[in-house]
Structure 1
Amino acid sequence: MNYHAKEMNPQKIGLLEGFWGNRNQLLSEVIIPYQWNTLNNRTEGVPLSHAVENFQIAAKEMEGKPEGTIFQDSDVAKWIEAAAYSLMHHPNSDLEKNIDELVRLIGKSQHSNGYVNTFFTAKGIEQRWSDLEMGHEMYCAGHLIEASVAYYQATGKRQLMDIMVLYANLIAEEFGPEEQKLHSYDGHPEIELALYRLSEATGNTRYMDLADYFMNIRGSIKKDPTGVTDKEGMVQKSRWLKSDYFLDDKPIREMTEVSGHAVRAMYLYAGVADQYRRTGDQKLWKALTNLWDNLEQKRIYITGGIGSQSLGERFTIDYDLPPDRGYTETCASIGVVFWAWRMSLIDPDSRYADMVEKEIYNGALSGISLDGKAYFYVNPLEVNPRVAAFRQDMEHVLTHRVGWYDCACCPTNIARLMGSIGKYIYSSTDTSVCIHQYISSETEIYLEGEPISLHQETKYPWNEEIQISLKMEHQKRFGLMLRKPVWCDEWTLEINGIACNSYRLEKGFIHVDRIWTDGDTVQLKLEMAVKLFQADSRAQDYCGKAVLMRGPLVYCMEEFDNGPQLQELLIDPESNFELEEEIVQSIPSVHILLDGYRQTIRTNSLYGPMKKTERTKVRLKAIPYFQWGNRAKDQEMRVWIRTI
């Protein structure tokens, strides 16, 4: 494959007024300060984090022992990364001082050999690498490395990156193919992504080589087949927590089905994509495409949620996608973005950017409230609070977002995704510019040494119109690739106000190859009709049901608008859909009004002979899935609704 796209530094992409520009303003003004206070145990009414406190203890500036999860350091790391992205476009000296203080603590907690980890510092670093399955040491290291690179990009400050280079050097000295080294890898993939990123930032291929080693040895070490041993991170033995849970039941080149712990899987497959971009190993590409096809066609929810079982937070089998008991962790949807984006850079096929879009507007975005101060760990597609409160197999399903978690991986992860959203908009090759996402933004791309400025304006995802303006010093021929979303059947394209028919549609992208001139404008209009989607009947929970979608947004129905007992509702597919613009917590939204019915069945006892039941015609209201639970707590909600 000869396509080699270059991704953009998020610092080079400015977000303008609009859906994501406004959310990044919220990130800067609300989310990052809220999370900082929470990481410092200063937010009332939520579980204590202890994350910053743990580094104070490790730095010997506070007495005590680390508290929280074994991977609590990663919360600090992801917050630093999110804050670094915010600083790129919203300079804030106080925020920078807070980060610098964290960097000082991390540096002071570092051991002379380079090791950084608050949990094993307290336990005794001679026990490092003693629990690679569940100890999360290199997982935490990976997140700290990624944070260090982002902070260096944002500020030019190298201190944190220098700290993490020392740590990466230690890992490289202690792990590898050489006989005297440890031949193993972390049970939770993440270090691989970080090492590829560190290698690019430093120009040192040693880190890429180490990442390749971790990828290549995975699945080749024989382990106890009876299940994991009782370690710090997990004590429960189960058939669901064997080697496939860790994604090490087989070498990566032999993988054909997405499996195991959903977040681990996404981080691993993203790492495989990084490795393929580095090596061009066609066996890796074959594995990647097999895995992608399995995910896209058989093991993902319509919202982009993944992981259909709570025990093990994992995949199960094809078409097993229960709407009310699925796990669908926010971090897993974020992981899909990481993997899909890397696939986009390898293969110019719109299905990968379509997947990024699905996640950022649905599966991931539902994980944070509109005000930025409450979060979902689990994102179900169906909620009945009265049932969820009494079922053991639904104890993971919260019926409203909360301010924090004992295991708070998701809040800081959604923050860093929001902060880096700009990097998923554009890419380029030597002869083309590709627009993957329609987000109001501006950037400058160099083609053969010449700068080309792009200015994109849109009210997407509420509105179907996109305008792109070009600025350049000289006329230049290049290809402009515009994604045609999979949900869009009709579109119009104009250049400088004149209809353009000289394009080709290839792998979901509209290719316009021409000589461009300073001041040229491109107007793309994507038909954004309301549609009903159905599922393959092998997905047994969805037979006879449909989902409302408009553009990239999945819609749902809430008790707040439609009353309780949502299972009684039926959609009329012939309904005339009406759009209603509303403001929800100061944020513009488009809701859908439609005709439907309520079919209420009451029998003299629990069961009775079947008889014809009258339907009452009702006017139904659907809202974007990511917005559910923001107007009232503990409401019934459904994505899939029966049809008449």
Structure 2
Amino acid sequence: MDLKDIKIEDPFWGHMQELVTDVVIPFQEDVLNDRQPGVEKSHAIENFKIAAGLSQGEFYGMVFQDSDVAKWLEGVAYSLIIKPDAALEKRADDIIDIIAAAQQPDGYLNTYFTIKEPEHRWQNLLECHELYCAGHMMEAAVAYYDATGKDKLLKVMEGMAGHIIDRFGPDKLPGIPGHQEVEIGLMRMYHATGNEAYKKQARYFLEERGKNPAFFAEEAAKRDWKHFGMIPEDTKYNQSHATIYEQDEAVGHSVRAVYMYTAMADLAATEHDEKLFDACERLWNNMTEKKMYITGGIGSTVEGEAFTKEYELPNDMAYAETCASIGLVFFAKQMLKMSKNGKYADAMERELYNGIISGMQLDGKRFFYVNPLEVNPGVSGEIFGYKHVIPERPGWYACACCPPNLVRMVTSLGRYAWDEDDDVIYSHLFIGQEARLKKADIKVVSEYPWKGHVSYSITPKTGDEFAVAIHIPGYLKSFEVTLNGMRLK
């Protein structure tokens, strides 16, 4: 779905998008440039300047600090569709110029290793997030190209993708990402360019995972250094304990899991791969039926930000990372490509209204990483076992994956509202909007979520017959449909 064809006009989500475009994006831009006093230092833009030789200094931040810039840029791209802003676009172009200058002659792009440990490139896939950062920047590149038609960042990431493809694969070096994401990025690069090599590489990373559960332990044995001190034998943590076709339970780090499931579902739908879709379905059912909070939160424990046992979902110790809820929306939308089952749309709605926007304060300047269902003053944030359950949203984080993830989620909302095939238009979400689809222009007027009234005005574009399938939320016990004033049910 092309975001340029969707204009959100909704009393709830319209306000949320305006908050992100007008407040959150400029605020985060200042944070990424270390211009926002009183919050955790980012240094992420400066890292790119140093890597590009445009500034002097040392790398600062997490090994995956580059990904904060990538997610923010992706959100900017969607924002420029919602609300064109020449000044913001110029500033984004300038940042892209810096990123391009930081790319190495062989296509490699990663500020941590370029600045700090160039001799250790690609030696620690378990911990060091090179492929993760590449995936996020690929997503940003595609989004910016789609929004503006400018391909500078896309060409940069084609160079990085080529570098990755030349290095990892059959008859090359074996490799899988310690934190899945590059698979999503490669699939988006494939959809944008039509280059089959990107889709092939995404499949390689997915299907190589778990073939050798000892891969990360063998990798660790080849080097004499660690980064975080992760345990390479804990293969369930990063879902490398079994192949994707053998896994039937959601285990380990929840964000890693849903990012992997998203790419699996995208590939399954793209290639009409029933075996791969069946694997996705098994994981979906286990996760959403046995390991998901009523809010849609997943990953119930702070220990590894992970899934635990079935139905082990404590309210006051919940982790339920914002990024994990966002990733579940990604997964659900890809599943809807293959199967128009309402349970996927139900999950998207649950996450959007409950598990995701709780991660941002209404002023757009404070954010939750953890989303508990219960907070007890004097205990939450203070007592052992509850220190992650902070009662107030901070302005930023040392590990700031969630705030820019929220930006790209809210600004890309239109991508999740519709699907369209040869003879059916599918409406997944009750969001007020004007949608220019292939078969029809549709105006949706919604009083959701405060009231249950939603109307659709449909203007066909051709003389061909088609159906409009509107998702009815699974929690509804009764509903009424009228067509041109005539009651249908």
3-state DSSP of counterpart to 2:180 = coil
Which one-letter code corresponds to 1:321 in the other structure?
L
Q: CA deviation at 1:444?
A: 1.3
Q: What's the counterpart of residue 147 of structure 1?
A: 140
Q: Work out whether residues 299 and 308 of structure 2, in 8 Å CA contact, stay in contact via their aligned partners in 1.
A: yes
Q: Deviations over 1:126-173 (max 9, x none)?
A: 422111011100100010010011001111001010111011011111
Paired with 2:446 and 2:330, the residues of 1 have a C-alpha distance of 24
Question: Equivalent of 1:468, from 434, 444, 456?
Answer: 456
Deviations 1:264-314 (A, max 9, x none): 000011111112113333332222111111112110010011111111110
The one of 81, 90, 100 equivalent to 2:83 is 90
**Alignment correspondent of 2:6:** 13
* 2:196 pairs with one of 177, 181, 205: 205
Within 5 Å, which residues of 2 pair with 1:51-450?
Answer: 51-178=44-171, 181-223=172-214, 233-235=227-229, 237=231, 242-447=234-439
Contact map agreement 1:385 1:399 (CA 8 A) in 2: yes
Structure 1 residue 402 displacement after superposition: 1.1
Give the TM-score normalised by structure 2. Answer: 0.96
Q: CA-to-partner distance for each residue in 1:181-200, whole Å, 9 max, x for gaps?
A: 11111111110011011011
Deviations 1:206-250 (A, max 9, x none): 100010111110011242798996965422549xx7011011000
Separation in 2 of the partners of 1:226 and 1:478?
54
Q: 1:389: how far off?
A: 3.8
For residues 376-419 of structure 1, give each alpha carbon's deviation from its aligned partner in whole angstroms, at most 9, with x where no partner exists: 00000111020124312111111111110010000000110001
Given that 2:59 and 2:116 are in contact with CA atoms closer than 8 Å, whether structure 1 keeps it comes out as no
| CA separation of 1:225 and 1:34: change in aligned 2, threshold 3 A | closer
Deviates more, 1:245-254 or 1:12-21: 12-21
CA, structure 1 residues 231+287, in 2 after alignment: closer, same or farther (shift >3 Å)? Answer: farther
Q: Compared with structure 1, are the counterparts of its residues 473 and 57 closer, same or farther at alpha carbon in structure 2 (3 Å cutoff)?
A: closer
- The amino acid that maps onto 1:132 is L
Distance 2:130 2:310 in 1: 32
C-alpha contact (below 8 Å) 1:134/1:231 kept by paired residues: no
Structure 1 position 177, deviation (Å):
0.6
Q: Contact between 1:227 and 1:242, CA under 8 Å: does it hold in 2?
A: no
Work out whether residues 71 and 135 of structure 1, in 8 Å CA contact, stay in contact via their aligned partners in 2. Answer: yes
Q: Which amino acid aligns with 1:454?
A: I
- Measure the CA separation in 1 of the matches of 2:297 and 2:452: 25
Q: Distance in 2 between matches of 1:80 and 1:438?
A: 28
Q: What's the offset of the Cα at 1:495?
A: 1.0
Task: Give the structure with higher Rg (CA).
Answer: 1
Give 1:492's aligned amino acid: E
More deviation in 433-442 or 385-394?
A: 385-394
CA distance in 2, matches of 1:149, 1:232: 33
The residue type paired with residue 172 of structure 1 is I
CA contact (8 A) 2:45 2:69 kept: yes
Say which is worse superposed, 421-430 or 390-399, in terms of deviation: 390-399
Q: 1:438-517 counterparts in 2 under 5 A? A: 438-447=430-439, 452-500=440-488
What is the letter of the counterpart of residue 246 of structure 2?
Answer: E
CA spacing shift, 1:242–1:358, aligned 2, 3 Å: same
| Gap runs ≥5 in structure 1 | 1-7, 502-644
Q: Is the 8 A contact 2:33 2:44 kept in 1?
A: yes
Question: 1:320-362: CA deviations, max 9, x gaps?
Answer: 1111112110000001001011111111110000000000000
- The answer to whether the 8 A contact 2:82-2:411 is kept is no
> Secondary structure of the equivalent of 2:245?
helix
- Tell me if the contact between 2:343 and 2:474 (Cα under 8 Å) persists in the aligned partners: yes
1:376 corresponds to which letter in structure 2? F
* Alignment CA distance shift 1:318-1:62 (3 Å): same
2:179 counterpart SS class: coil
Q: State the Cα distance separating 1:471 from its structure 2 match.
A: 1.6
What amino acid is the match of 1:207?
Y
Q: 1:494 to 1:43 in 2, by over 3 A?
A: same
Q: Which has the higher contact order (CA 8 A, sep 6+)?
A: 2
- The letter for the 2-side match of 1:399 is P
Contact 1:228/1:242 (8 A) holds in 2: no
Summarize the Cα distance change of 1:23–1:176 in structure 2 as closer, same or farther, 3 Å threshold: same
The answer on whether the counterparts of 2:262 and 2:334 sit within 8 Å (CA) in structure 1 is yes
CA change 1:429–1:360 in 2 (3 A) is same
Seen in structure 2, the aligned counterparts of structure 1 residues 471 and 281 have a Cα distance that, compared at 3 Å, is closer
Query: TM-score if structure 1 supplies the norm length?
Result: 0.74
**Whole-angstrom distance in 1 between the partners of 2:153 and 2:462:** 41
**SS, match of residue 309 in structure 1:** coil
Question: In the alignment, is the contact (CA less than 8 A) between 2:213 and 2:240 conserved in 1?
Answer: no
Match of 1:393, SS?
coil
The answer for unaligned runs of 5 or more in structure 2 is none
Are 1:77 and 1:143, in contact at CA under 8 Å, matched by a contact in 2? yes
Provide closer, same or farther for how the CA distance between residues 231 and 354 of structure 1 changes in structure 2, counting only shifts above 3 A.
farther
CA RMSD between the two structures: 1.7
Equivalent pairs, count: 486
What's the secondary structure of 1:454's corresponding residue? Answer: strand
Query: What SS does the corresponding residue of 2:379 show, helix, strand or coil?
Result: helix
Distance 1:253 1:291, change over 3 A: same
Residue matched to 1:597: none
Distance 1:228 1:318 in 2: 32
Q: How does 1:548-587 map to 2 (within 5 A)?
A: none
Superposed CA offset, 1:578-629 (max 9, x none): xxxxxxxxxxxxxxxxxxxxxxxxxxxxxxxxxxxxxxxxxxxxxxxxxxxx
Offset from partner CA, 1:77-107 (integer Å, 9 cap, x none): 0000001000002011111111111101001
Match of 2:29?
A: 36
